[in-house]
Copies of this chain bind each other. A is one copy, B any other.
Amino acid sequence: MYIPKIYKSEDSELMKKIISENGFALLITGKEKLSATHSMFLLNENENGFYLETHISKGNFQAKVLQNGDEVLCDFLGAHAYISSSWYDHENVSTWNYEAVQIRGTVELMTDEELYEHLRKLTFKYEKIQKCPVFMENMGDEFVREEMKGAFGLMIIPTEMFIVQKLSQNRKEEDFKNIISQLENGDENEREIAKKMKRINKF
């Protein structure tokens, strides 16, 4: 990912928000061959800083080759929207606005207990907002242990982190405001980008 300075963020709160809201993200590896899997991520923090957790199927090629210390790249794409140059008052090319986080890191394979704890937290995150939540604690322990046999859990210890917030910061006031009004009439993604543009409060 190439991030021109104007779109680069160092805001760890923004990073946490993008990861938390877009936890169905991409686990990318290059071991033996380029591979990428959509999986559910959690961001955690301990005394050494942030780290990611995810799990994939043991049937997955990545699960067969990944070992402690291997490098992976994780991609979290947030809201994104096409920005038409027809919304500017001058000739220009169209583009895409988006927020994303990429984390490069090294793999640490989970023990069974770490995998259990990961699944418990993951289930809690998504179930707590359901009408009749089903937490891991409500499931039979035997059932959970059986399900876990098919899962390959890993932690990713960051070595590099990129936060991109491309929100037309390079535009002048009139164009910036017009982009927002155009997006406000769009779909959820577009309205979300409009909200984010308002929030950076460039003018």
Spell out A's residues near B (CB within 8 Å).
Answer: 1-2, 4, 24, 26, 28-30, 33-38, 40, 56-57, 59-63, 71-73, 75, 77, 80, 82, 84-86, 91, 93-94, 96, 98, 100, 102, 104, 119, 123, 126-127, 130-134, 139-140, 143, 147, 187-189
Contact = CB atoms under 8 A, between A and B. Distances in A.
Count this chain's copies in the assembly.
2
B34 A80 contact: no
Closest A-B pairs by Cβ, 9 of them: A2-B60, A30-B30, A34-B73, A188-B188, A86-B134, A86-B132, A86-B130, A30-B34, A84-B130
Nearest to A150: B93
Given A24-B80, A94-B123, A147-B93, A100 B38 contact: yes
Given A24-B98, A91-B139, A126-B94, A36 B73 contact: yes
Q: Identify the interface centre among A71, A134, A140: most chain B CB within 10 Å of its CB.
A: A134
A81 B160 CA distance: 29
B86 A127 contact: yes
B77 A38 contact: yes
Nearest to A122: B94
B134 A59 contact: no
Given A2-B61, A26-B26, A187-B188, 11 more contacts: A1-B35, A2-B37, A4-B57, A4-B59, A28-B28, A29-B34, A35-B73, A84-B133, A91-B143, A94-B123, A188-B188
A38 B82 contact: no
A82 to B, nearest CB: 5
A98 B38 CA distance: 9
A34 B98 contact: no
Contacts of A59: 2, 4
Contacts of A30: 30, 34
